[in-house]
Amino acid sequence: MNSTKDVHTEHCCYWHGCKYNDEKCTVVSGDLDQSGPCEECAPDNRTQILKGAASFAGWLMMNAEQDVINEENLHYWICEYMKSDDYKNELEELK
């Protein structure tokens, strides 16, 4: 866990992306931990977050069935999911 702070740790979200559309976002890349939940992760959105987690779990089972999921490769699979059409559709439904 890296507690260093920058503008991204205060405003961006590992799940919902960079608020500045920065390809080098320190939170999205996993280099730094976000300080807290973003607006989309707020308590009012817990149902959507759980739905997103379930969607990710289902996607992971279909796409990573030949791979063992562990600490070393989980970040890779999360990034792959965030690039997928399933994730983009999930975000569209939340808008």
Sign, CA dihedral 62-63-64-66, equals positive
What pLDDT score was predicted for residue 15?
82
Global confidence as pTM: 0.45
What pLDDT score was predicted for residue 3?
65
Positions in the chain whose pLDDT score sits under 50: 1
**DSSP state at residue 41:** G
What pLDDT score was predicted for residue 69?
73
In sequence order, the 6+-apart residues with CB closer than 8 A to the CB of 24 are: none
What pLDDT score was predicted for residue 66?
67
